Amino acid sequence: MQRIFFLGTGAALPSISQDNSSLLVESNDVLMMIDCSGSPFRKLLRIGADPAKLKHILITHHHIDHISGLPSLVECLWIKGRTEPLHIYALPAAMRVIEVLLDLWDLRSRPIKEFPIVLHTIEGNQDELVIEEPAFTLRTTPTLHAVPSVASRIIFPDGQTLVYSSDTASTPVFLEFARGADYLMMECTFCDEETELAGITFHLTSATFSEIASQVQARHTLLIHHSEQMSCSHADLAREITETHGFKGKFSIPKDLESIVIE
């Protein structure tokens, strides 16, 4: 089974229904988390995933809404008696924060039953090969955001691809990276009237989201990292994307703890 679970779909300000953005990729019984927000161990239990199968964690960048759950997750895995290695991938700037967070609670040096935490620093090259294993391949490319961040492309064993922007402004590099995606998942933090704020904070708006989605023409386009508490309603945002800016493809805004099957 190839599936994506939406552990969180909101932007930096969570609400009753939306936590900060975080995803779980499942393929051939291997789990990879992309970003780590809220109470990640509990979310794995709520979607019925076995935390022991979590092998990889990609941290796209070190903004607090994408990284704050990591120490808690590692602590919970330790209490649960994990022995298998946990692989964590991040750019140098995010990796420095990860090391500080882990060492703040001595999470890399437990006196008993320690499990290996293997840190893999992403160099930040375009279309960089980060993970290659039978369950999937992961490639990343740098994006334009307030801090260094990466977009990711997951290639499943049947050849299907999912591209996820994480937080970014619109760039030609991201557009090229996204071309050919079967599933395109992008952030859309702001609506039209927040265009100036989007420029200052390096995020997509309904206009830039629609423009990229129209050019890529993925079979399914998904929108995350939009919080109704920070911006307009999902319905108004969707109306801007499809009516004002004319995106015609299959498009959805998933809810927290939902999933889609990649088929």
Give the footprint of Zn ion on this chain (CB under 5 A).
63, 65, 167
Tokens read off for 218: 């993925």
Distance from C-alpha of 163 to C-alpha of 181, rounded to nearest angstrom: 6
Q: Which helix (H) or strand (E) holds 97?
A: helix 92-104
User: Which lies closer to Zn ion via its Cβ, residue 4 or residue 224?
Assistant: 224
Distance from C-alpha of 174 to C-alpha of 143, rounded to nearest angstrom: 7
User: Which lies closer to Zn ion via its Cβ, residue 135 or residue 191?
Assistant: 191
User: Which lies closer to Zn ion via its Cβ, residue 143 or residue 221?
Assistant: 143
Write down the least CB distance from residue 146 to Zn ion, Å: 6
Write down the least CB distance from residue 60 to Zn ion, Å: 8
Is the separation of the CB atoms in 188 and 225 below 8 Å?
A: yes
Write down the least CB distance from residue 237 to Zn ion, Å: 16
Write down the least CB distance from residue 167 to Zn ion, Å: 3
Write down the least CB distance from residue 256 to Zn ion, Å: 15
Q: Provide the residue type at 53 as one letter.
A: K
Tokens read off for 246: 């004319």
Selection from 169, 122, 120 nearest residue 141 by Cα: 122
Write down the least CB distance from residue 144 to Zn ion, Å: 11
Is the separation of the CB atoms in 62 and 99 below 8 Å?
A: no
User: Which lies closer to Zn ion via its Cβ, residue 65 or residue 240?
Assistant: 65
Is the separation of the CB atoms in 206 and 245 below 8 Å?
A: yes
User: Which lies closer to Zn ion via its Cβ, residue 34 or residue 117?
Assistant: 34
- Full DSSP string of 183-199: EEEEE--B-GGGHHHHH
User: Which lies closer to Zn ion via its Cβ, residue 129 or residue 146?
Assistant: 146
For the chain, the maximum distance between any two Cα atoms, rounded to a whole number of angstroms, is 59
Q: What's the distance, Cα to Cα, between the start and end of the chain in Å?
A: 9
